[in-house]
Structure 1
Amino acid sequence: MEHINGFKAAVAAVLGGLTALWGWFGWLVLAWLLCMALDYGTGTAAALRAGEWSSKVARDGLWHKLGAVVAVLVAAILDGVIGLILANIPALEMPFQYEVFVSVLVLVWYIMTELGSIVENIGALGAPVPAWLRKAIAALESTVDGAGDKLGDGQDDEK
């Protein structure tokens, strides 16, 4: 019982530290990391079940996830640069304090992509997936795409 209490305390300390450091944004990052792990795990399980598991495909999946991490880092750097510009150029004033925006869009887009992939993997594992769940994920991903398209004048080079 004492080990369980120690584990609970450690988890609470880590989650509390994350909340203190990043607030709600940290939870978004944590949700994305969890989704990436679930996608990789369910994708591996689905491939094993189908007898199609390949170390090359698994490695390519990890490279894909690394690319996503770099894209999120680029968005975070862009948010930082935008924040510095707005804070230090008096002619550019906003009616609110700019903290993050691009990073949130990128993270939510990746979360929706991962959730869509997880749902596909769940189906490949033989579990029934409600159609409304697939539609909800697709609708949210489309909404985030629309917001991102407004930033880039509707130019969508890559997904």
Structure 2
Amino acid sequence: MGDRKLENVGKWALAVGSWLVSYLFGGWSGVLGVLLVFVVMDYLTGVAAGWMSGELRSKIGMFGIARKVFIFAMVAVGHLVDGILGDGHLFRDTVAFFYIANELLSITENGGKMGAPIPSVIKQAIEVLKGKGGNDNDKGAGTGAST
């Protein structure tokens, strides 16, 4: 009987999670998938860079996690604005591209702190993504090991 209860809890959790993703983000998309991967990669490379430099701190790590949650909150805001204005996924995706560019920039900065060479094609991709996200400034980008 306990296994069946656990199975039902799992089904409910999946249903609520699916509803939440649908409501907050308008469903899942390739753009959101890329953003999720970049967010995780940025956090992990930030931890690695902090560890290698001897600057790894739990407080900085918690700040980084809070920052990552904020990124997805802003993407949700973009989707909700789309719903009000009837613009499909224009704002959601623009916000996502903005953060994808910032996360990619931070990943490359973390790689640089670890002594890894950064291919020029990645640097070019950052510039293209900045344009798609309407990113005309670098505020908040590249927080290094704190992400």
User: Matched residues in 1 for 2:133 and 2:56: separation?
Assistant: 32
Question: Residue type of the partner of 2:123?
Answer: R
Contact 1:116 1:138 in 2 (8 A): no
1:100-144 deviation per Cα after TM superposition (whole angstroms, max 9, x unaligned): 101110011111110111111111112111244224313431453
Match of residue 80, structure 1, among 80, 83, 92 = 83
For 1:49, the equivalent position in structure 2 comes to: 52
Q: Could you tell me which of 17, 27, 31 is aligned with 1:28?
A: 31
Is 2:49–2:110's contact at 8 Å kept on the other side of the alignment?
yes
SS state at 2:29 partner: helix
Query: 1:77 and 1:143 mapped to 2: Cα distance?
Result: 19
Q: Which of 114, 125, 129 does residue 140 from structure 1 map onto? A: 129
Mark the runs of 5 or more structure 2 residues left unpaired by the alignment: 1-17, 141-147
Cα deviation 1:52-108 (Å, max 9, x = unaligned): 00111111111111111111111111111112xxxxxxxxxxxxxx42101110011
Task: Specify whether residues 142 and 27 from structure 1 end up closer, same or farther in structure 2 by C-alpha distance, changes over 3 A only.
Answer: closer
The answer (yes or no) to whether the contact 2:100–2:129 under 8 Å persists in 1 is no
Distance across 1 between alignment mates of 2:69 and 2:129 = 23
Equivalence map 1:117-132=2 (5 Å): 117-132=106-121
Bigger Rg over Cα: 1
User: Who is 2:73 aligned against?
Assistant: 70
- Matched residue type, 1:53: L
- Counting aligned pairs with the same residue, the percent is 31
Aligned twin of 1:102: 91
Structure number with the bigger relative contact order (C-alpha 8 A, sep ≥ 6) is: 2
- Tell me the C-alpha RMSD between the 2 structures: 2.6
Task: Return the alpha-carbon distance in structure 2 between the equivalents of residues 143 and 65 of structure 1.
Answer: 20
How far off its partner does 1:25 sit? Answer: 5.8
Return the TM-score normalized by structure 1.
Answer: 0.64
Instruction: Report the secondary structure of 2:85's partner residue.
Output: helix
TM normalised by structure 2 equals: 0.69
Q: Is the 8 A contact 1:38 1:118 kept in 2?
A: yes
